[in-house]
Chain A
Amino acid sequence: MSILLKQKMALVGAILTGALTLLAVFAPLLSSYRYDGSMPDSVEGMAQTDNADQLRQSLQAPSGQHYLGTDKFGRDVFTRVLYGGRISLFVGFISQGIALAIGVPLGCLAGYFRGKTDAVVMWLVNVFWSFPYLLLVLAMNIAMTHLIESSIVRVFIAVGLVSWVLIARIVRGQVMSIKENAYVEAARAFGFNPARIIIRHLLPNIITPIFVVVTLGFAEAIIAEAALSFLGLGVMPPTPSWGRMIYEGYFYIYTDMGWWVAVFPGFAIMVAVLGLNLLGDGLRDYLDPHLKDELEGVR
């Protein structure tokens, strides 16, 4: 917490990220509309609206009733932006969880044992690194089409399987430098096994850099999800996703029928990613100038 107060950037980032998270989590309390219908939630059994009703509600400009307007189907954009935030959060957390589960062990092994283990891990890292991030996410997602039924699970896995690379790189570098400390030497002299040394002595010291990488990875994951959804490879309708909302809405910008349908979800992505980047950058600057070199300029 004290770090946040010293780093204004990180503080702003934390506030933005926190606020968006709260909005997404408490979406049902903040809006009386359904994300998949045009009627207020309170009207039970009215989820299926008839066509005439839909037309009347369709593409209304932002107003007191619909803060951010309505889309083609008369659905409340504000509500859909809130619920879309949930998808982004899910994708961020789960994909980064997967990335951690792969990246931390591999990075530890490579940094601790060096030699052949290191060579193999670094080869994998370099191969994954040779693909532009989003491209590999796209390819993985498409490759799994028939393997995994649920499109959102495919997004989790594809993003996770690509994001581990940066984590592994940072963990490896950190482990390599911390390993040289006297207390690690001492632990080794006591004859503790490597697993214990890594878990008890090394990992606790690299939690913060890992946190920084995951924060930045979270931001990348949100953009990746939006990009996949934009291309129709993300969540299935009517579940709202920011990327898909942009895709469905940008036609109405160019036909002058309603800029709000695409613009608000776009700004939601920007604010979320901006918040995470500010938080990650701020923490990174505070923590470790060396880490900065490793992270800067990538992607």
Chain B
Amino acid sequence: MWTYTLKRSLHTIPVLIGVTLLTFLLFHAIPGDPARMMLGMRPNVATMEMLREQWGLDKPLHVQYLLFMEKAVTGDLGRSTNDNRVVFDTIINRAPATGLLAVFALIFAVIIGIPAGIMAAVKRNSWVDFSSMFVALAGISLPIFFLAILLGWVFAYELRWFPMTGYISNRGWLAIVLPGVALGTRPMAIIARLTRSSMLEVLRKDYILTARAKGQNEIIVLLKHAFRNAFNPVFTAISGSMAGLMVGSFFVEFIFGWPGVGLLAIQAIQTRDLPMIQGTVLFAALIFVVINLLVDIGYRLLDPRVKL
């Protein structure tokens, strides 16, 4: 187990180098002159020179990358070009709100998605199956910002069950429901679909027939015999959808005014605040890499047959 964990962790090193390199290229090399890009169409020459020197833009590209990395590993991602906030600190301050939202969304996705998938598989080709699978497909097909708008319209504006915008600190826990559901719908749909197909496969197996033949309680057959064996692909789906949560939260936080990293990122994009955009992109990618690492290790714990 420890060997696996160590090996798998070492595997992330080339990926991490690639991720930082790509981010560096996107924000430093491709834009032509980043100083110019940051300052807009009519830059002040003196400011531009100052920025160039500050970023070492006169040096060769690989040196620039090393400089960038040297700063990045110490948490120095520069300052916002809008309000001079320190990028790293701002992101860290916003991270808990996004994390909370993601956890809520994931719990929602699992609580609804898995039972829906099991029901659909058990009642195959019934109206339960068709309707839950249709909802799942619609959930995958709706762009998340549109879903968020629809939820806000129906449940906050028309029915007034939940607040339209705000955070738990000023609006209470009801404020997390709509953004959480909006963010959790896509993973919920993916989990439901996968649980269904995985369950269908397992339910055909002989040991299910055996369990039923010996008069085992049907609930126990479904949960203990079938679902435990159908769970691995579902686990992959759950972990796979964590990636989507990160970007999904950008739009959801924007629509519902949820003060997380996503709202920060969208505001940075709208104001062309490059250091802040770069910081949030790097943050999201790093979180993603770490989650994937943890998921793979967790997967190994669940199923020791997994090879690296």
Per the CB 8 Å criterion, the residue count for chain A at the interface is 50
Residues of chain A lying within 8 A (CB to CB) of residue B233:
293, 296-297
Q: Are A253 and B146 in contact (CB under 8 A)?
A: no
A227 touches B251 (CB 8 A): yes
Q: 1/0 per residue A253-295: CB within 8 Å of B? A: 1101001001100100111011001100000000000000100
Is the CB–CB distance between A146 and B31 below 8 Å?
yes
The one of A230, A263, A277 in contact with B141, judged by C-beta atoms closer than 8 angstroms, is A277
A223, B143: Cβ atoms closer than 8 Å: yes
Is the CB of A189 closer than 8 A to any CB of chain B? Answer: no
In the complex, chain A residues whose CB is within 8 Å of the CB of B23: 139
A3 at the interface (CB under 8 A from B): no
Q: Mark B158-177, 1 if CB is under 8 A from A, else 0.
A: 00000010000000000000
A146-B284 in contact (CB<8A): no
Q: How many residues of B contact A (CB 8 A)?
A: 55
- Contacting B37 at CB < 8 Å: which of A128, A145, A227? A145
Asked if residues B152 and A254 are in contact (CB atoms below 8 Å), the reply is yes
> Are B31 and A233 in contact, with the CB atoms below 8 A?
no
Q: Is the CB of B143 within 8 A of A130?
A: no
Do residues B246 and A132 form an inter-chain contact, with CB atoms below 8 A?
yes
Partner of B247, one of A126, A135, A273: A135
Which residues of chain B are near A145, meaning CB under 8 Å?
31, 37, 272
Asked if B194 and A270 make an inter-chain contact with CB atoms under 8 angstroms apart, the answer reads no
Q: Mark A120-143, 1 if CB is under 8 A from B, else 0.
A: 000110111011111100111011
**B26 close to A143 (CB less than 8 A):** yes
Tell yes or no: A207 within 8 A of B by CB. Answer: no
| Secondary structure dominating the interface of A | helix
Q: Is the CB of A147 within 8 A of B247?
A: no
Task: With CB as the reference atom, state the residue of chain B lying closest to A253.
Answer: B153
Q: Considering only CB atoms, which chain B residue lies closest to A285 in the complex?
A: B197
| Residues of B with C-beta under 8 A to A133 | 247
Please tell me if the beta carbons of B149 and A250 are within 8 angstroms of each other in the complex: yes
- B208 in the interface, Cβ–Cβ < 8 Å? no
Cβ-defined contact, B153 with A254, below 8 A: yes
In-complex Cβ contact of B137 among A274, A293, A297 (8 A): A274
A253 pairs with B284, CB closer than 8 A: no
Contacting pair B146 A246 (CB below 8 A): yes
A194 within 8 A of B: no
Task: Point out the residues of chain A lying under 8 angstroms from B140, CB to CB.
Answer: 273, 277
Residues on B with beta carbons closer than 8 Å to the beta carbon of A127 = 15, 18-19, 21-22
List the B side residues contacting A128 at CB < 8 Å.
22
Report the minimum CB–CB distance from A202 to chain B (whole Å). 27
A-B pairs with lowest CB-CB distance, top 9:
A127-B18, A266-B146, A273-B141, A274-B141, A143-B26, A297-B240, A132-B247, A297-B237, A134-B247
Chain B residues packing against A (C-beta within 8 Å): 14-15, 18-19, 21-23, 26-27, 30-33, 36-37, 137-138, 140-143, 145-146, 149-150, 152-153, 157, 164, 190, 194, 197, 233, 236-237, 240-241, 243-244, 246-247, 250-251, 266, 269-270, 272, 274, 277, 281, 284-285, 288-289, 292
18 CB-based A-B contacts, threshold 8 Å? A124-B18, A130-B15, A130-B288, A132-B243, A132-B284, A132-B288, A135-B247, A135-B281, A139-B277, A139-B281, A142-B269, A142-B277, A143-B31, A144-B30, A146-B37, A262-B149, A270-B143, A298-B240
